Amino acid sequence: MPNLKILLIILLFGATFAAGQSKGSISGSVTDGFGAIISEVKITLVRIEKGGEHVVGKINSAVEGKFQFGNLKPGSYEVRVEWPGLQGVDMTFRKKIDLTRSKPVRDSVAIPLAACTEADGEENAPAITQSDRAEIVREMFRLQFEPFLPAEKIVIVPWNMDVNWLTPDQRSHIHDMWRDQVQALTGKQDYFTYYSITPFEQRGGCVSGSMLEHSAVKGQTEDANMSGGGTIYEFRKIDGRWVGQAFSRWIS
């Protein structure tokens, strides 16, 4: 199995004062772990004071991923970034910054996006059942492949799932095989892609799991999955059914 590399939001920020000025600015950019800019992310700047917190301003990252707060007094601040989660529930990531004239700040922070980072008020939610797992697998498969099911069959290595959980239509689009069969195929064709699903993790009423995408390369029979990636999903039960959403992408 490839090493998991969760997608990151990278906040590259600077806290500086212009020469001779008593007020400074905090600015930066928001990108993912691959350097791609992320626009329209909600960013809030809060000033931390002895008597509590004061919201300085709220903005969205620009088209080029940049943001800036100006006309700031020296002091302690916190940058808060809101990342959209399932069903409109935003997750907030925080970074404290000390703004001083004597020590300009040039730094970056990598904020890992792990699904189900916040229990949704259902700390005592019952553990998912086999029936729940089956429904979640079907929903994950739908999110991954539909409505654009490939013309050729999808190869599934059933390490952590039961392919019989899929609907008859979904089942008709897959071909499942064991690991030794995958390894044998690497000596017969140059390249092919296959999939597997990680074990599900539950936190409160939220369940997360990943669909892994592997690339099998000819000549690499000892470890067939030379490269690949996948999608992290999170699921919640809404109106009696499990509803999922792609949370982030990762590569290996």
* Same-domain pairing of 241 and 143: yes
* Same-domain pairing of 184 and 82: no
**What is residue 5's predicted lDDT score, i.e. its pLDDT?**
37
* Same-domain pairing of 243 and 135: yes
* Same-domain pairing of 101 and 136: no
Q: Nearest-5° angle of CA 10, CA 249, CA 192? A: 135
Tell me the C-alpha distance between 66 and 64, whole Å.
6
* Same-domain pairing of 55 and 165: no
Residue in 35, 13, 34, 32 with CA at minimum distance from that of residue 24: 13
* Same-domain pairing of 91 and 165: no
* Same-domain pairing of 207 and 172: yes
Instruction: Classify burial at 149, counting beta carbons within 10 Å of its beta carbon; exposed 0-12, middle 13-18, buried 19 or more.
Output: middle
Q: Is the peptide bond prior to 126 cis by the omega test (within 30 degrees of 0)?
A: no
* Same-domain pairing of 141 and 247: yes
* Same-domain pairing of 241 and 194: yes
* Same-domain pairing of 240 and 140: yes
- DSSP conformational letter for 128: P
Helix (H) or strand (E) holding 166: none
Q: Which CATH number belongs to the domain containing residue 96 in this structure?
A: 2.60.40.10
* Same-domain pairing of 145 and 237: yes
Tell me the C-alpha distance between 79 and 94, whole Å.
6
Range of the domain at 183: 130-251
Beta pairing class for 90-99 and 154-156: unpaired
Q: For 122-177, how does the pLDDT look when each residue is reduced to its tens digit (9 = 90+)?
A: 567 889 999 999 999 999 998 888 767 666 788 888 776 788 899 898 888 888 88
Domain ends where: 112, 138, 159?
112
pLDDT at 2 over 90: no
125 domain-assigned: no
pLDDT at 91 over 60: yes
3 domain-assigned: no
Q: How far apart are the first and last CA of the chain?
A: 10
1 domain-assigned: no
Residues 41-50 as b or e (16 or more Cβ within 10 Å = b): bebbbbbeee
pLDDT at 3 over 60: no
Q: Looking at the 3D structure of the chain, how many domains does it have?
A: 2
* Same-domain pairing of 137 and 30: no
88 domain-assigned: yes
27 domain-assigned: yes
Domain ends where: 82, 112, 142?
112
Q: For 183-241, how does the pLDDT look when each residue is reduced to its tens digit (9 = 90+)?
A: 777 766 667 788 888 889 898 888 998 888 887 776 654 454 445 678 888 898 888 89
